[in-house]
Structure 1
């Protein structure tokens, strides 16, 4: 099995002389990289959360995005959400921000795992495995929901097209359905496509 290709996103930090916040963030970043490498993951880039992040993620096409933000991660998360909007991928957020409001906002934005005060290297692998499993399950549910909505929309088209044929050509429901099937076979189209053409023609004729 190929190792996950991971992009790590860090807040934009400016180094200062003996700045405790910068030193703490640097230590967290080092611990995260060590944990990822020890677990066999492939870190393809470590990127700042800036305006160029969406373009960089689009170019790199990682399997997972990890955000390492010690405190308020809203700005970082906003950049990552924009970057992954068109191509969904699991997002894992390591932070020290334990506020419920921050957690709720992160999960609503699409974060697969929100880990507070848990950047021990031994925990990284199971956390990422759970996040990946959760993401895949969500994607499966979204695909099923989309498929259900599509089928309902197609059913509405068929029902309307059948109704038009029944009214205009004095056909029974079964006869109207069979006519739709024949037209679809003759023209090598889907039933829903034939139904849409009949509806469009009826709308044009008023």
Structure 2
């Protein structure tokens, strides 16, 4: 996050929005914009590209909660949601939708900064986990393709696994490409010939 974070506050009540803005400004440097009407929230947030979204809603329904959470881009930025009351299962639904912090019993100014800090930290942690998971999946897929290509070379040339790997690696080095890319090209070409 940058030194001065930009925050969008989704709050329909003007007095409450003023209280939130005052609490945020007292907590540190930030650029704050208020969205009073949550219709077209996704477009407004996309246009403004905030660092954090803070949503204050009295009593959300499951549909409202999911719409607000998804519109605020929880996979792109931390989202903190403050509610006065919550039905059973709504907190779970909010977390599953990507909300970084779901706070029941409303928004109190003295709790705002620590909750936002926790939401940002949680978001960063999940962002790292998503990236690691994506990289692990990609590596596993590449490993499968390399193994298939080695199997094809072993069968076509009548060589062992180590020699098939060496042939594949040499081809990658000769072409200046990644091993996985050469393996994928071989598997694709073989698929076209069969």
Fold shared by both chains (TM-score > 0.5): yes
Are 1:178 and 2:169 matched, yes or no?
no
1:111 corresponds to 2:99: yes
In the other structure, the counterpart of 1:20 is none
Cα RMSD for the two superposed structures: 1.8
2:145 is matched with: 157
Q: Larger relative CO (CA 8 A, sep 6+): 1 or 2?
A: 1
Residue in 1 that maps onto 2:32: 44
Gaps of 5+ in 1: 12-24
What SS class does the counterpart of residue 103 from structure 1 fall into?
A: helix
Cα distance in 1 for residues equivalent to 2:163 and 2:24: 63
Secondary structure class of the residue paired with 2:76 = coil
- Shift in Å, 1:10: 2.6
Runs of 4+ in 1 over 3 A off after TM superposition: none
In the alignment, the residues of structure 1 paired with residue 68 and residue 111 of structure 2 have an alpha-carbon distance, to the nearest angstrom, of: 26
Alpha-carbon distance in structure 2 between the residues aligned to 1:205 and 1:99: 59
Q: Is the 8 A contact 2:56 2:82 kept in 1?
A: yes
TM-score w.r.t. length of structure 2: 0.90
Aligned counterparts of 1:43 and 1:101: Cα–Cα separation in 2: 33
Q: Post-superposition shift, 1:93?
A: 0.3
Q: In 1, Cα distance between the equivalents of 2:54 and 2:93?
A: 17
Q: Which runs of 5+ in 2 are unaligned?
A: none
**Which residue matches 1:70?**
58
1:176-202 CA-partner distances (Å, limit 9, x unpaired)? 111111111111111111001110111
The equivalent of 1:121 in structure 2 is 109
Asked if structure 2 preserves the Cα contact closer than 8 Å seen for 1:28 and 1:119, the reply is: no
Determine if contact 1:49/1:76 at 8 Å carries over to the other structure. Answer: no
1:29-108 correspondence to structure 2 within 5 Å = 29-47=17-35, 48-51=37-40, 53-72=41-60, 74-75=63-64, 77-84=66-73, 88-108=76-96
The C-alpha deviation readout for 1:50-73, integer Å capped at 9, x for no partner, is: 12x222212221111110111115
Look up the match of 2:9: 8
Q: 3-state SS of the aligned residue for 2:89? A: helix
